[in-house]
Amino acid sequence: MGEINIKIGEKSYQLEKGDCLLNLIKKNLPNAKFSIVAAKENGNTIELITPIESDLNIQWISSSSEEGIRILRHSTSHIMATAVKKIFGETKVAIGPSTDDGFYYDFDSNTRFNEEDFMKIEAEMQKIIDADIPFVKTFINRKEAIEKFKKDGELYKVELIEEITDDKVSLYDNGDFTDLCRGPHIPSTGYIKAFKLLKIAGAYWRGDEKNKMLQRIYGTAFADNKSLKAYLTMIEEAKERDHRKIGKEMNLFGFYQEGPGFPFWKPNGMILYNTILDYWRKLHTDEGYQEVKTPIILNEELWHRSGHWDHYKENMYFTEIDKEAYAVKPMNCPGGLLIYRDGVHSYRELPLKIAELGLVHRHEKSGVLHGLFRVRQFTQDDAHIYCTEEQVKTEVKKVINLVQKIYNDFGFKDVHLELSTRPANSVGSDEIWEVAEKALAETLQELDLVYKLNPGDGAFYGPKIDFHIKDAIGRSWQCGTIQCDFSMPERFDISYIGADGQKHRPVMLHRAILGSIERFIGILIENFKGKFPFWLAPEQIRLLPISKNHVEYAKEIKNLLQNFNFRVKIDETEDKLGGKIKQARLDRVCYLGIIGDNELSKKTLTVRKADKEENKEVALDELSEFFNEIKNSKI
């Protein structure tokens, strides 16, 4: 058959034509068998069992890499489906992809699964793994595949295949289980070294509430048991930090059946909410932004003009006014464009920075609603910067600096960036996309910032830089974004008068930093476990008079501190000091002020952090300075 050359870095190996990379590993790298799960050439993933017909220059995909873990998890979802089918024979399978932190598979079964079934399913999965059963890929005629799955009673697979336009489809056999799948997969089940089933949830078939509710089993897999154990520890910690639980305990917000997906903010929550908005407004005023407010409901024609109708209408709410169609805004940009267009602008005004804390509504399916993280109504901290093409890079740099300052002030030190380029459903010419993508890429390079490239993941109107923050237990959250838009100014025919006296088209930079205020508050709650830094805490100081004799002095201190805009309460219960301290800690108060005979006679206050034992005695006339220093330090 002849030999072909496989180049891996600086080394080259010979392989018989038609042989596979798995045999190359077995022969030349036997100790690496389970640590390599696939290979990559020119961005294309090659399975280790794929017959190789020509020379290749490849990189290995390790089991511990991001892509390698996704392959492991995808294969584990098939193993789980195999086990479920074996134990619960009447079960029908739907889909089973990998996710950012695990995998799931949707099942249609007469049996109502519960977490007690996990032990049985996991035991059967382990048997399949121990048997080291190969994943075998085959291609068959589309019509044959339909007949096969009809015969097996797998009607969900039939529905999927009927929508495929290719003549052939790919199947994967894994012992007794055959699945419709594009892959890629590991060579055999023995590659799975660490897995765990996590939870069960309901999921409508294809996410449509009109379809049948299926049972979704979630799990995860890692390259080794150490990584799995660390993840499970993080999951347990995440449960303790659940913002829904803490939000209820701290009386921050609520959700009610009268408005599913619409948060109700309670007094403590409003203090937190408004503190964030006050901080945001001051910072943006200092940075030269002007704030506007646009209507929540706007004529349907506007959304056709902006392009949102074609790309977003499934997520929009509609109404009728005076026999004309209107939409509840899912985004703020079109309204902001109307304000810009209402007047003549000179190049001397640019860059023009317009900010809006805009209330938007998006129609989310009930199955995906999740506390403050996924709601139907939220406020975006939007801003749109209108500038010349020459100003784009300078303005993007300023936004990046502002993003970094804000995240740092909220305690997020670990931030990574992603650059997303033109998607398939984009609007605008090749030329303007090339200019926009180049501007963002060059800006990141000039700032010497490390970023990940996400080809094809930009907004429909422009490429974007996304900001991901890491919380206290290592979870990553995408919040901020900068989008470079040459298209929307064209659609709305906006312009400015240049130095030459002629009309020119501005570039529009869309940007948000917190993203959704609601979601960001949810992230903050979980990051701090409800124990907010002093400047954010709904209750900054609780005064604890030891007896009734000290209450009047406590009121004097409260009035003094409130005059300096500190948030203070007095515990006037008859509990002993130890009980008052315990309750304050449960309420996640930031600082305690203890008042006894000593403090009363000396006109001082004994201060301590609620979760610490160290006391500091502060004179009455120094209290405001003491707490202001803490407040301004953002700790």
For the record, the structure tokens of 394 come out as 């300078």
Specify the amino acid at residue 482: I
pLDDT number for residue 72? 97
Sheet of 44-47, strands arranged across: 11-16, 3-8, 56-62, 36-41, 44-47
In percent, the amount of the chain with pLDDT more than 90 equals 87
- Mapped onto helix, strand or coil, the DSSP state of residue 319 is strand
pLDDT at 59 over 90: yes
Helix or strand holding residue 466 (H, E): strand 464-470
Q: Catalytic: which of 20, 181, 333, 590?
A: 333
For the record, the structure tokens of 401 come out as 């600096």
State the distance between the two ends of the chain, measured CA to CA, in whole angstroms: 69
Mean local confidence (pLDDT), 387-393: 94
pLDDT at 411 over 60: yes
pLDDT grade, residue 573 (50/70/90)?
very high
- Taking the C-alpha atoms of residue 525 and residue 533, their distance in angstroms, rounded to an integer, is 11
Residue 389, Cβ density class (10 Å: 0-12 exposed, 13-18 middle, ≥19 buried): middle
The answer to whether 61 and 39 are in contact (CB under 8 A) is yes
Which of these, 294, 465, 322, 450, lies nearest to 380 by C-alpha position?
Answer: 294
Q: Left if phi > 0, otherwise alpha if psi is -120 to 50, otherwise beta: which for 322?
A: left
| Parallel, antiparallel or unpaired: strands 541-545 and 568-570 | parallel
pLDDT number for residue 284? 97
Tens of pLDDT, residue by residue over 354-365, are 999 999 999 988
Q: Catalytic: which of 85, 329, 361, 362?
A: 362
- Taking the C-alpha atoms of residue 13 and residue 34, their distance in angstroms, rounded to an integer, is 19
Which of these, 52, 72, 53, 54, lies nearest to 62 by C-alpha position?
Answer: 72
> Which residues, at least 6 apart from 102, have a Cβ–Cβ distance to it below 8 Å?
73, 198, 218, 219, 220, 221
- Return mean pLDDT, the chain: 94
pLDDT grade, residue 197 (50/70/90)?
very high
Q: Where are the beta strands (DSSP E) in 42-124?
A: 44-47, 56-62, 92-93, 103-108
Distance of CA 418 to the CA centre of its chain: 13
Which of these, 116, 113, 73, 122, lies nearest to 90 by C-alpha position?
Answer: 113
Fold of 260-295+344-528: BirA Bifunctional Protein; domain 2 (3.30.930)
pLDDT number for residue 369? 87
Which of these, 124, 80, 70, lies nearest to 104 by C-alpha position?
Answer: 80
pLDDT at 1 over 70: no
pLDDT at 2 over 80: no
pLDDT number for residue 378? 96
Helix or strand holding residue 551 (H, E): helix 551-563
Which of these, 387, 88, 41, lies nearest to 184 by C-alpha position?
Answer: 41
Side-chain-side CA neighbours of residue 274 (13 Å): 9
pLDDT at 31 over 70: yes
- Taking the C-alpha atoms of residue 55 and residue 12, their distance in angstroms, rounded to an integer, is 10
Please state which of the ranges 60-64, 201-205, 207-211, 585-589 shows the lowest mean pLDDT: 207-211
Please state which of the ranges 218-222, 263-267, 430-434 shows the lowest mean pLDDT: 430-434
Mean local confidence (pLDDT), 374-389: 96
The neighbour count for residue 213, using CB atoms within 10 Å, is 13
For 578-590, b/e burial (b = at least 16 CB within 10 A) is: eebbeebeebbbb
- Taking the C-alpha atoms of residue 574 and residue 597, their distance in angstroms, rounded to an integer, is 17
Superfamily for 3-62?
A: Beta-grasp domain (3.10.20.30)
Tens of pLDDT, residue by residue over 534-572, are 999 999 999 999 999 999 999 999 999 999 999 999 999
Top CATH class of 541-632 equals alpha beta
- Taking the C-alpha atoms of residue 117 and residue 124, their distance in angstroms, rounded to an integer, is 11
pLDDT at 426 over 90: no
Q: Is 464 a catalytic residue?
A: yes
Residue with tokens 């506390």: 371
- Taking the C-alpha atoms of residue 570 and residue 541, their distance in angstroms, rounded to an integer, is 9
- Taking the C-alpha atoms of residue 313 and residue 303, their distance in angstroms, rounded to an integer, is 9
- Taking the C-alpha atoms of residue 333 and residue 560, their distance in angstroms, rounded to an integer, is 44
Helices (H), 427-493: 430-446, 487-491
Tens of pLDDT, residue by residue over 323-361, are 999 999 999 999 999 999 998 999 999 999 999 999 999
Specify the amino acid at residue 290: Q
Which of these, 613, 598, 602, 607, lies nearest to 543 by C-alpha position?
Answer: 607
Tens of pLDDT, residue by residue over 110-131, are 999 998 999 999 999 999 999 9
- Taking the C-alpha atoms of residue 248 and residue 243, their distance in angstroms, rounded to an integer, is 8
Q: Catalytic: which of 510, 550, 588, 631?
A: 510
The answer to whether 433 and 194 are in contact (CB under 8 A) is no
Report the alpha-carbon angle 541-608-521, nearest 5: 50
Q: Is 510 a catalytic residue?
A: yes
Q: Three-state SS string across 233-301, please? A: HHHHHHHHCCHHHHHHHCCCEECCCCCCCCCEECHHHHHHHHHHHHHHHHHHHHCCCEECCCCCEEEHH
Q: Catalytic: which of 78, 244, 464, 580?
A: 464
Q: Catalytic: which of 19, 185, 284, 380?
A: 380
Q: What number of residues does the chain have?
A: 635
Q: Catalytic: which of 70, 384, 422, 519?
A: 384
Q: Is 290 a catalytic residue?
A: no
In percent, the amount of the chain with pLDDT more than 70 equals 100
Q: Where are the domains of the chain?
A: 3-62, 67-240, 260-295+344-528, 541-632
What are residue 138's phi and psi, to 5 degrees?
Answer: -135, 155
- Taking the C-alpha atoms of residue 520 and residue 517, their distance in angstroms, rounded to an integer, is 5
> Which residues, at least 6 apart from 376, have a Cβ–Cβ distance to it below 8 Å?
260, 261, 262, 361, 362, 363, 364, 369
Q: Catalytic: which of 19, 382, 571, 587?
A: 382
Helices (H), 389-429: 392-409
Q: Is 550 a catalytic residue?
A: no
DSSP conformation class of 462: B
Tens of pLDDT, residue by residue over 234-275, are 999 999 999 999 999 999 999 999 999 999 999 999 999 999
For the chain, the C-alpha Rg in angstroms (whole number) is 29
- Taking the C-alpha atoms of residue 488 and residue 585, their distance in angstroms, rounded to an integer, is 51
Residue with tokens 């036997």: 30
- CATH 2.40.50.140 applies to domain 67-240: no
Q: Is 384 a catalytic residue?
A: yes
What are residue 221's phi and psi, to 5 degrees?
Answer: -150, 150
Helix 142-151 and helix 155-162: axis angle, to 10°? 160
Tens of pLDDT, residue by residue over 294-315, are 999 999 999 999 888 887 888 8
The neighbour count for residue 271, using CB atoms within 10 Å, is 18
- Taking the C-alpha atoms of residue 70 and residue 182, their distance in angstroms, rounded to an integer, is 14
- Mapped onto helix, strand or coil, the DSSP state of residue 505 is coil
